[in-house]
Amino acid sequence: MAKFELKLPKMGESVAEATLTAWLKDIGDKIEADEDVLIIATDKVDSEVPSEVEGVLIQKLFEVDAIVEVGQTIAIIETDSDTVVLTASAPEAVQVSEPKEVDQLEISITKIQDEVNIVRSNDTRFYSPLVRNITKKEGITQIQLDSIQGSGKDARVTKKDILAYLANKPVASSVKPVFETRSQTTSSVNPVISSAEDEIIEMSRMVKLVSKHMTDSLQTSAHVQSFIEVDVTKIWNWRIKIKESFMAREGENITFTPIFLEAIAYALTVHPMLNISVQDGKIIKRKNINIGMAASLDDGNLIVPVIKNADQLNLVGMTKRVNDLALRARTNQLKPDDIQDGTYTVTNVGGFGSIMGTPIINQPQVGILALGAIRKVPAVIETSEGDFIGVRQKMFLSHSYDHRVVNGSLGGQFLKTVKDYLEAWDDKRTLTTCN
């Protein structure tokens, strides 16, 4: 017999942790290879985690609603293989007794007491196994731990923070000062008082995670924006002319989105220093151009499926990829791979009638482009016979970029390249030339 560690797989470059929402198997259940064992959720997608091996589930290392980091061991599966996979140190969890070990039932009361006193991570703060072990040993409560100011990444509480707290902790009463501190803090902030007529809505898990992701992005990057107006009259008229024949031949509806994505993919090939990521003080220049496409869901949330190798797709291929991802996003059928490895993001604020927006960068990327609404506007048209006023189809593009690594010159040049590509659109382009 051997033991296999089932770990939380990587689910995207910006996804470091997930919430365990449900166990599909119980202790003692037989598991087939590639059979789903549990369900996890992130701010982007819900997904099942399958087993890589065949065996019997003998241990669960996390409870439902627990936050698990990528790479952490979630469960132990006993296999018939002779190759033993050593169990790595994992966070404390509820130990479920094996059916045959009846003697362990005698200590169930002690376990229940330990579970009551155990500290847990929440939606806003993650506590490492080391920190939780120290709190258990020193008798630090959840309220006390939550009051400690963390010095680690994303304000996480480190071992150093815990030891500093213990060194300054009063000997007499450890609970009373904590409540006094929290009371003082609360009094300095004006509380929100709801009346009987107000409706109180609990924020969903996804909303909390997205909120944290956006806040972290603003705290990480030096956001700056550039704007440009684009004349898309040629594209507007061309789409009207070709959309019926395109549907008849390809069975797909061609929208403006794949056309804009084609232009953006081209601009990223011209300006590869916008197809980068920043990590630990280093710039990672991405080989592939993978464009994330923000899609609105029926519940009001957003998800960002990724079009892989967008620069290698023709207009027909781009259209089919866009339509497929948009449909599966609306029907909650996206897979973890569909939202991974994005290198640049596009969002369509014009779909809601906005003429422009200032989007927040999707970390660890360095740029995001917002597409404004297409509008009929009067414009000066230059001809060889002079200038005149005419009605044109125009839109605004809003480019948010990370000023730590992208200066205004590069950010503006990228935007100008997209504009020039769209305005130079060949209105005589045929279905054959779209391939």
How many other β-carbons are positioned within 10 Å of the β-carbon of residue 353? Answer: 9
The per-residue pLDDT for range 402-420, each reduced to its tens digit, is 999 999 999 999 999 999 9
Residue 97: pLDDT band (50, 70, 90) is very low
Residue 90: pLDDT band (50, 70, 90) is very low
From residue 76, alpha-carbon distances to 71, 73, 116, 304 in Å are 14, 8, 24, 33
- 225 token code pair: 């924006």
For residues 205 and 181, the model is more confident at 205
Q: Whole-angstrom Cα distance, residue 304 to residue 294?
A: 4
Compute φ and ψ for 60, nearest 5 degrees: -110, 125
For residues 158 and 44, the model is more confident at 158
Q: Whole-angstrom Cα distance, residue 40 to residue 27?
A: 18
- Is 2-98's fold the same as 222-434's? no
Q: Which amino acid is at 276?
A: I
pLDDT at 195 (0 to 100): 67
CB-based burial of residue 168 (10 Å sphere; 0-12 exposed, 13-18 middle, 19+ buried)?
exposed
Do the beta carbons of residue 256 and residue 263 sit within 8 Å?
no
From residue 235, alpha-carbon distances to 24, 227, 327 in Å are 50, 20, 24
Do the beta carbons of residue 26 and residue 40 sit within 8 Å?
no
Strand bridging mode 73-79 / 2-7: antiparallel
For residues 246 and 217, the model is more confident at 246
The CATH number of the domain covering residues in 222-434: 3.30.559.10
Q: What is the DSSP-derived secondary structure letter of residue 351?
A: G
Residue ranges of domains in the chain: 2-98, 222-434
pLDDT at 219 (0 to 100): 80
pLDDT at 183 (0 to 100): 40
pLDDT at 149 (0 to 100): 76
pLDDT at 170 (0 to 100): 55
For residues 20-47, give the mean pLDDT: 84
Residue 36: pLDDT band (50, 70, 90) is confident
The CATH number of the domain covering residues in 2-98: 2.40.50.100
Do the beta carbons of residue 66 and residue 74 sit within 8 Å?
no
Q: Which amino acid is at 244?
A: E
Residue 307: pLDDT band (50, 70, 90) is very high
The per-residue pLDDT for range 262-302, each reduced to its tens digit, is 999 999 999 999 999 988 888 999 999 999 998 877 777 77
Q: Whole-angstrom Cα distance, residue 358 to residue 369?
A: 9
For residues 233 and 117, the model is more confident at 233
The per-residue pLDDT for range 204-242, each reduced to its tens digit, is 666 777 777 778 888 888 899 999 999 999 999 999 999
For residues 37-45, give the mean pLDDT: 78
